[in-house]
Amino acid sequence: MKFKLFTLTSLCISLLLNYTNIDAQTKHLTNSKYTIIPQPTTLKPAKGNFQLNKNTRIISSSVFNAAAAELKSITEKCSRTAKNAGTITLKTGDNTLPQGGYLLSVKDKSIVITANTAEGSFSAVSTIKQLIGAPLYANHSTAELQIPNVEITDAPRFEWRGMHLDVSRHFFDIAYLEKMIDRMALYKFNKFHLHLTDDQGWRIEIKKYPELTSKGAWRNLNKQDSTCLALAKDNPDYALPEKHFKTIDGIRKYGGFYTQEQMKGLIKYARARSIEIIPEIDMPGHMMAATTLMPWLASNGKGGQAKDFSEPLCPCKESTYEFAENVFTEIAALFPSKYIHLGADEVEKSSWKNVPECDSLMKKEGLKDINELQSYFVHRMEQFFNSKNKKMIGWDEILDGGVSKTATLMYWRTWIPDAPKHAAEKGNEIIMAPGEYCYFDAQQDVNSLQKVYTFNPLGFKLNTAEQKYVKGVQSCLWTETIPSEQRLEYMIFPRMMAMSEVAWNNSPSDWKGFESRVINQLPMLDAMGINYRFQDLKGFSPKSVFTDTASLQLINPVPAFKIHYTTDGSLPTISSSVFNKSIKVDRPVQFKLAAFNTSGKRGEVYTIDYIKQDYFESAKVENLQKGLDFSYYPHGYHVVKEIDEKDLDSRKVTAAIEIPIAKTADQFATKHKGYFYAEETGVYTFFLRSDDGSVLKMDSTTLVDNDGMHFAMEKSAQIALKKGYHPFELLFLEGGGGYTLKLEVQDPSGKRRDVNAKDFYR
């Protein structure tokens, strides 16, 4: 459920760093004893350990029951029943303890957790679990578990620390949702937003309309399923799980749903871990699962697909409100959360034009356009929610056509940067989930983890007063091409660890420290059986060149992982050659290499092509001036070769790679043309990062091809240049949704930097 088209290819993207930096890159990995994510507010290490075993006593009052039960289950994992096994005390603190915070004191024979809420105490238990680490999750019994002595004070930055999961596009069963809840609790998330309905399937039982799930939860395979099945040929994680198929009336269908009883169980399971489930029934758009069964709910009486999105519910018929209110009556009774999510995103409002019922409703209510018609629907639903003692959340489209003061906005459209400010000015609370940072269905590359980590939820031009309206942050996982639990884990780990620090910490600026915390926790993730994405190998370009000889070098961010490679085109396995330090290249060759973790699991496979190249001669040009010729085309294209001179709007001169247009069109393209000046003869590497597509041409070649519609993605290539001027052209297109365009160069000495004014001539 998103505007962007995502590329589905596995990325082989590189970041060239000097090999001599490798020690500096890895030496912070040493003290892993206190690796906690999110990092606590203060942590004072101390000598010694608390040895936890079966006889460890837990002293607690009823408010901390859930935390005490969790601690008890940890002691049950130990086989030793030693005497004098120490005591864990849970107690309430004074009113200086911030909301949701806790104190944790671990001394040889005593652990004291101080908290004022169940949530605070449970967070302390999550911290203890991470201090124990991998041994806690080992699948063999253990005599004792060690917790290093420490003094911790800790409290969350945001009250809303959410994760979202789309269970409509692909269904995930209750057992797996429980697993997700455990992992969310370990990383101190406290809201689980379930996107329960969409065009592709209705997942929650509604007793008044049993067909919604008896029929609406099951589908014949659709286009997205075919995409997954095609991808599954190379990657089994894209296969549709057999357990979600069922034969109904002799036809094999795919899907699933939750009964209300099952959902009650899940709510209870989550609550015991201090997590609240937030239900979303997305309307008036994204309703095809319902309109297929009840076509009268749509204005055209048929439902189906409309121009950009599916036919929405008709906001001009009372029968729509009867349906919506019946559904939400059951949702409000089932889910104890204060908030219910109405969705209200991506509505094909044009379907309401020229509909007699809508014309008369607009006249009667004084609504001047279809945006106000959507607002009318949203306001009416909000009033209904309020009558059930619930508050409404909607995606940021609820701003269009006027928003009520009491609605909470979930911000996702990064390309509308003013939306949070408009909401805060009106006094609406905001949950920050901007797609660029928070949509974990976006494919990953070498930059994606850092992108999440450096997300500033209080940005977006909010002043200090307006920042107070930010309730918190949330990651979102839309599952169009995420059919399996394995694939889901690959997409959220380790990004959810980065989001947990953004949500919890006051100072999410310690990227290097965070990176090492993630690496230190990999043994724990392995013990938990999580299919996380490995940290990228760095220090090479997939399109490499040599003129005489070259030396392939790599940076392996996880020293415990071994790198294996092949040169015969086959995928590397654990028995392929081991990469040690460097390989001399003196002939054209293709390397395929990958890291393998300590249990032999393979990470991303990287392909590096080395070709032999003569130095490109410099151009015979004279009297050049500084800068590049820049052209701007305010038109939508899919690939850069579609850029058409007849769409040219303006020309300018830029110093380097800039887009000097004060307010660009939503969709546009640009061209930068001139010469790159090579200061010395040698091999240069260019790194091109863009959202959406870009292509870099140099001399007579297409050097970097980063074309097409995608989130910010980096590609790189090498070229051998003689000292002097080299023809340069950079084409870029933006397909809507906010753009990124960045070019870096690594010169023959190995220094990587942004291109700048001294590189370009025209």
Select 346 or 489, whichever has its Cβ closest to ligand ACM.
346
Cis preceding-peptide flag for 434 (omega within 30 of 0):
no
- What is residue 165's three-state secondary structure? strand
**Nearer residue to ligand ACM within complex by CB, 1 or 373:** 1
- Nearest distance from C-beta of residue 741 to ligand ACM, angstroms: 23
Task: Measure the CA–CA gap between 528 and 485, rounded to whole angstroms.
Answer: 14
Beta bridge partners of 219: 254
CB of 380 to ligand ACM, least distance (A): 21
Q: Does 1 bind ligand ACM (CB under 6 A)?
A: yes
Residues 288-317 that bind ligand ACM (CB under 6 A): none
Kindly state the smallest distance separating residue 484's Cβ from ligand ACM, in Å.
21
> Of how many residues is the chain composed?
762
- The residue (of 70 and 436) whose beta carbon lies closer to ligand ACM is 436
Task: Report the nearest approach of ligand ACM to the CB of residue 535 (Å).
Answer: 28
Segments of 267-309 assigned E as strands: 276-280
| Residues between 223 and 282 that touch ligand ACM (CB under 6 A) | none
Minimum CB separation of residue 692 from ligand ACM in Å reads 17
Going from the C-alpha of 550 to that of each of 259, 318, 612, 722, the distances in angstroms are 62, 73, 10, 17
Smallest gap, in angstroms, from Cβ of residue 345 to ligand ACM? 4
Using CB under 6 A as the binding rule, the residues of this chain from 665 to 694 that contact ligand ACM are: none
Binders of ligand ACM in range 394-433 (CB under 6 A) = 395, 412
In terms of CB distance, is 629 or 666 closer to ligand ACM? 666
d(CA 36, CA 518): 9
Instruction: Identify which of residues 309 and 514 has a Cβ nearer to ligand ACM in the complex.
Output: 309
What is the DSSP track for 476-540? B---TT--SHHHHHHHHTTHHHHHHHHHH-S-TT-HHHHHHHHHHHHHHHHHHT--PPPPPPBS-
Angle at 437 between CA 310 and CA 420, to 5 degrees: 75
Q: How far is the CB of 491 from ligand ACM (least distance, A)?
A: 15
Q: Which is nearer to ligand ACM, 382 or 501 (CB)?
A: 382
Helix extents (H) in 564-681:
none
In this complex, which beta carbon is closest to ligand ACM, that of residue 203 or of residue 317? 203
* Shortest Cβ 3–ligand ACM spacing (Å): 7
**CA 256, CA 269: separation in Å to the nearest integer?**
20
d(CA 473, CA 410): 9
DSSP 682-693: EEEEEEEEEES-
Amino acid at 241: P
Q: In the sheet where 606-612 sits, what is the strand order?
A: 543-546, 606-612, 589-596, 562-566, 577-578
CB of 452 to ligand ACM, least distance (A): 17
d(CA 44, CA 654): 52
Residue 629 burial class via C-beta count within 10 angstroms: exposed 0-12, middle 13-18, buried 19 and up: middle
Number of residues that bind ligand ACM (CB under 6 A): 6
CB of 286 to ligand ACM, least distance (A): 8
User: In angstroms, what is the minimal distance from the CB of 145 to ligand ACM?
Assistant: 42
Q: Please name the amino acid found at residue 204.
A: I
Nearer to ligand ACM, 122 or 395 (CB): 395
* Alpha-carbon distances of 583 from 12, 339, 578, rounded to whole Å: 19, 58, 11
Return the residue of 154, 198, 311, 345 that touches ligand ACM, per CB under 6 A. 345
Q: How far is the CB of 711 from ligand ACM (least distance, A)?
A: 13
CB of 136 to ligand ACM, least distance (A): 36
Of 195 and 538, nearer to ligand ACM (C-beta) is 195
- Count H helices, E strands: the chain? 19, 37
Instruction: Kindly tell me which of 1 and 131 has the beta carbon lying closer to ligand ACM.
Output: 1
Q: Shortest gap between Cβ of 395 and ligand ACM (angstroms)?
A: 4
Residue with Cβ nearer ligand ACM (346 or 691): 346
* Nearer to ligand ACM among residue 315 and residue 434 (C-beta): 434
Nearest CA among 201, 194, 197, 333 for reference residue 260: 333
Our CB check for ligand ACM shows the closer of 430 and 703 to be 430
DSSP for 301-364, please give it.
SS--B-SSSBPPBPTT-HHHHHHHHHHHHHHHHH---SEEEEE--S--GGGGTT-HHHHHHHHH
- Cα–Cα distance measured from residue 46 to residue 590, given in angstroms and rounded to the nearest whole number: 51
List Cα–Cα distances, 591 to 187, 543, 570, 748, in angstroms.
Answer: 38, 11, 9, 22
Q: Which of 52, 45, 48 is nearest to 146 (CA)?
A: 52
Decide whether 344 or 640 has the Cβ nearer to ligand ACM: 344
Radius of gyration over every alpha carbon of the chain, rounded to an integer in angstroms: 28
Residue 163 contacts residue 183 (beta carbons within 8 Å) = no
User: Closer CB to ligand ACM, residue 666 or residue 729?
Assistant: 666
Given a contact cutoff of 8 angstroms between Cβ atoms, the answer to whether 14 and 606 are in contact is: yes
Q: Are the beta carbons of 556 and 35 closer than 8 angstroms?
A: no
Q: Least distance (Å) from ligand ACM to the CB of residue 302?
A: 23
Question: Is 174 exposed, middle or buried (CB count within 10 Å of its CB: 0-12, 13-18, 19+)?
Answer: middle
Residues at the interface with ligand ACM (CB under 6 A): 1-2, 345-346, 395, 412
